[in-house]
Structure 1
Amino acid sequence: MLWIGYVVYTRQQRTIRLLTRQKADIVKQVQHLERINQQKVNLFSLISHDLRLPVVRLKQQLNTLKQASPATAPIDQQIRESEEQVDQLARMLTNLLDWSVVQMKGLPTNPVQVDVSVLTAEVIADVSTQLKHKNIRLINQVSASTWIIADRYQLLCVVRNLISNAIKFTPPHGYVRLYTKTAGESCIWLTVRDTGIGMSADEVACVLSAPVIRSGTQGEPGTGLGLLLCRELLGDDADALQLTSQPGKGTSVSVRLVTADKPTP
């Protein structure tokens, strides 16, 4: 019995030492992978900065040229077209970089009180060149002082994508409408509706599940990541974004947001 007990004890100790070594090896591997991942994140941050900077500088240079040349000069039209192309490049680059960050590590969320009317006005100002270029009317029916709780940067990215998509797939002389609607006691729907080319039910299912690259009504390029990025930024609630569309009758995209009281001065 003593011999059997000794054998069992010896085997247990051997097993414990083996498990301890394996655990130590796993810890080292995890630490190594964490260092590699952090290096990738740091490298990606540097690359993101280096990619954005030339686009920003080019935009500034075009703006300087536009202000220096007479409005009637032939070069003025070329500058405006170049500005539009730079804006398209900037939007595509932003979507690609934001999507990559979300896939690598997720974007940090910082919920704050946000006035939707102020945020949408900011986006509308950003896309004013797109609207003028295609002669599209944007009807903003978002009520003043519509307060919600959200991460401001992420919501800005979502709204910018939705409005840019609406303009992209709407023919010249069409319109895009923004409005809010109550959704229960503590939520609202923010909706972007357009008079664009629309999509079939199969196309709607595709764009909500995988990147679908489609050119705009004037050949505007895209990455197909816009709606997917919006869904990622809105979190785990699959119903937070709803899309309805019909071919030739336009598209409507609604985002559910949590309401908040107006902040006290």
Structure 2
Amino acid sequence: MLDLLHTLFDTADFPARWHCGNWTTAHGLVHIVADLAIFGAYLAIPLVLAWFVTRRRDVPFPRVMWLFVAFILSCGVGHLIEASLFWQPWYRFSATSKVITATVSWVTVIALVRVLPRALQLPGVERINDELQARMAEQVEAENRLRDTAEVLSATNEELERMNRELADFTHMVSHDLQEPLRKLVSFSELLVEDAGQALPEEARWDVQVISEAAVRMKDLVQSLVRLTRVGEEALAFASFPIADCIKAAREALDVAFLETNAEFVQPAELPEVMADRALFIQVFQNLMANALKFVDGQTPRVEITAERGEGAWIFGVRDAGIGIDPEHAQRIFAPFRRLHARSEYPGSGIGLAICRKVVERHRGAIWVESKPGEGAHFRFTLPDRERLLARTGPVPIVKSTPRD
């Protein structure tokens, strides 16, 4: 290797260029200055290209650009060697430099030929401008649609606020103005029976009883309607708590019913912590468990709590071994006052599942039932994680004190 390098830079066989021919000083300096100037330019050009390629990662065909850098730089080195030959006659080194330059040049040519079809497909400036203008027009149109949608949403929000105020007024009226006459109707029906005593005919006594029972039922319906309305009106008191606390509170509220029916109760050993309105979900579990105890056909009730992890949410449920539900009624049962059975068969106001749906939907979840007649029912609902709940509702106030029961 050392011998090769020594031979490459050996100048013994050649005279310096000044001594080859009849060079005048002026003629020689023209060649030298021109070669040095070309070398300076051929050094600056690849440096600028290299700086550009390293700064712009989206440059098409970067390998070709680097080949241009190598090609121009090798040409510049050749001119530098040509200028030095006037004093240092290393013609072998000059020949080697020219071979390298020729090789790099043809590699660059081949690379250019290969990328030429793809380069021809690159969009021109006019096409890019047209596409940019089209995108800008689409963006302006989208902004106009967004502005129109915002105006519609604003008007809708105002209408919803007005309806909420009317609903609040209606709830107040139902809660106070309607319940008072019903209470009087029940009370005076009882007083009528007491005052008349034996003088009141049996048929009239029966009529009064029918009136009283109807008034009591109407009073229950009014109270159920008020409860449903308040569930949708009251601000949610968000707090982080173990969902097992809700289930325990709901179970304790139904202790008497569990004892009377000798019902079996099953729940998972481990349950997660969630963020929600604790009091409302106690009501949800209580309503679902009460239905599981009620809708049976002679068999011993069984109430099973289920919980599984979903995508961005927990899926809780209450499974029973009762009479089941026809799938065609799976949505109808969540509407207020919708009943599938006569009141004489299964008592109730028909508002419990509607309240459950209202609570779950206010927490941006969903509720549904999986059931077939005679095979029991599995009521399930989703409760989104805190992050997803925040993304849908915005900042949520966190209650640090003990949640209300």
Structure 1 length as normaliser, TM-score?
0.59
Shift in Å, 1:132: 1.7
Determine helix, strand or coil for the equivalent of 1:235: helix
Q: Which has the higher strand share?
A: 1
Shift in Å, 1:245: 0.7
Asked if the contact 1:130–1:167 (Cα under 8 Å) also holds between the matched residues in 2, the reply is: yes
Shift in Å, 1:100: 3.3
Aligned to 1:137: 264
Asked if the contact 2:365–2:384 (Cα under 8 Å) also holds between the matched residues in 1, the reply is: no
Asked if the contact 2:317–2:380 (Cα under 8 Å) also holds between the matched residues in 1, the reply is: yes
Aligned to 1:126: 253
Cα deviation code 1:191-227 (max 9, x no counterpart): 1000000011122232134532245999441111211
Aligned to 1:106: 233
- Output the amino acid matched with 2:376: G
Higher alpha-carbon deviation: 120-129 or 216-225: 216-225
| 1:1-265 equivalence runs, <5 A | 95-102=224-231, 106-141=233-268, 143-144=270-271, 146-171=272-297, 172-184=299-311, 186-209=312-335, 211-215=337-341, 219-235=345-361, 240-259=366-385
Shift in Å, 1:151: 1.0
Q: Which has the higher helix share?
A: 2
Relative to structure 1, is the Cα distance of residues 235 and 48 closer, same or farther in structure 2, using a 3 angstrom cutoff?
farther
Shift in Å, 1:235: 2.2
Determine helix, strand or coil for the equivalent of 1:157: helix
Q: Which has the higher contact order (CA 8 A, sep 6+)?
A: 1
Relative to structure 1, is the Cα distance of residues 45 and 225 closer, same or farther in structure 2, using a 3 angstrom cutoff?
closer
Shift in Å, 1:46: 6.0
Asked if the contact 2:330–2:368 (Cα under 8 Å) also holds between the matched residues in 1, the reply is: no
Higher alpha-carbon deviation: 160-169 or 218-227: 218-227
**5+ unaligned residues in a row in structure 1: which ranges?**
1-32, 51-90
Cα deviation code 1:7-50 (max 9, x no counterpart): xxxxxxxxxxxxxxxxxxxxxxxxxx999876655566668999
Asked if the contact 1:200–1:246 (Cα under 8 Å) also holds between the matched residues in 2, the reply is: yes
CA RMSD of aligned residues (A): 4.1
Give the share of equivalent positions with the same residue, in percent.
19
- Output the amino acid matched with 2:262: N
- Output the amino acid matched with 1:126: A
Asked if the contact 1:113–1:260 (Cα under 8 Å) also holds between the matched residues in 2, the reply is: no
Aligned to 2:26: none
Shift in Å, 1:153: 1.8
Shift in Å, 1:259: 4.0
Asked if the contact 1:182–1:188 (Cα under 8 Å) also holds between the matched residues in 2, the reply is: yes
Relative to structure 1, is the Cα distance of residues 93 and 195 closer, same or farther in structure 2, using a 3 angstrom cutoff?
farther
Relative to structure 1, is the Cα distance of residues 141 and 117 closer, same or farther in structure 2, using a 3 angstrom cutoff?
same
- Output the amino acid matched with 1:135: N
Shift in Å, 1:174: 3.0
Determine helix, strand or coil for the equivalent of 2:361: coil
Aligned to 1:88: none
Shift in Å, 1:93: 7.9
Relative to structure 1, is the Cα distance of residues 136 and 111 closer, same or farther in structure 2, using a 3 angstrom cutoff?
same
